[in-house]
Amino acid sequence: MASATANNNPLDYPLRLCESVAFILHGILGLCEPFTGCLRSTFQDNGAMPTWFWPLAGSVLICVAIINFRGNDVVILMNQAYIAAFHMGGVLYHNSLGHHPASGVGPGMFVFLAFAVACMRAPIWMAFGGLMVCYVFAVGLAKVLVKPKAASDAGRSDESARLLRVD
């Protein structure tokens, strides 16, 4: 591992700090989701994700935000792998719900940040190989977890489904 390089790279800590601040905020949203419904409503999820997913993902994101400040290269690289896989899953989630392709930019940005941090701590071939493994893992989980439903299946009237659709 390239620990001396990572510790001397001036971008390593700020990138991990940006990730962690965002994950704390998103973690709180995930934990509150069963009570507020704000994420499912905003994403027009219509029950595509299991209800238990949101608080579980929120609590794991908060743990990831804290673990992101460990000094051990292996721990940080594993953390970045989780970040990449989770957010690739976010891109696939938006894609499978038929959202505009630009909606994948938000989670995709964190995939890029995770790859950048991994490149600072490991050889680029290892970081890229890890990214590919994370992608395969994300595709598998997305196939299992994301079950898009039509708006009418979720109890919406056809009129409200038509109004919510973006053409």
Over residues 105-154, the pLDDT tens digits come to 999 999 999 999 999 999 999 999 999 999 999 999 989 888 887 655 44
Contact 12, 119 (CB under 8 A): no
In the predicted structure, residue 79 carries a pLDDT above the cut 50: yes
Contacting residues for 130 by C-beta, under 8 A, at least 6 apart:
77, 80, 81, 84, 118, 122
Asked if 49 and 74 touch (Cβ cutoff 8 Å), the reply is: no
* Residue 31 near residue 123 (C-beta atoms within 8 A): no
What pTM was computed for the model? 0.81
In 3-state terms, what secondary structure has residue 128? helix
Contact 16, 117 (CB under 8 A): yes
Q: Which residue has the tokens 């989980």?
A: 141
Residues above pLDDT 90, as percent of the chain? 61
Phi, psi dihedrals of residue 37, rounded to the nearest 5°: 70, 15
Cα distance between residue 34 and residue 41, in whole Å: 11
What is the mean pLDDT of the segment spanning 20-26? Answer: 96
Residue 6: is its pLDDT beyond 90?
no
Give the residue extent of every domain in the chain. Answer: 12-164
Query: Rounded distance, CA 158 to CA 143, Å?
Result: 27
Give the rounded percent of residues in the chain with a pLDDT score beyond 70. 85
Residues 42-74: tens digit of each pLDDT = 888 888 888 899 999 999 999 999 999 987 899
Query: Helix, strand, coil: what percent of the chain each, to 5?
Result: 75, 0, 25
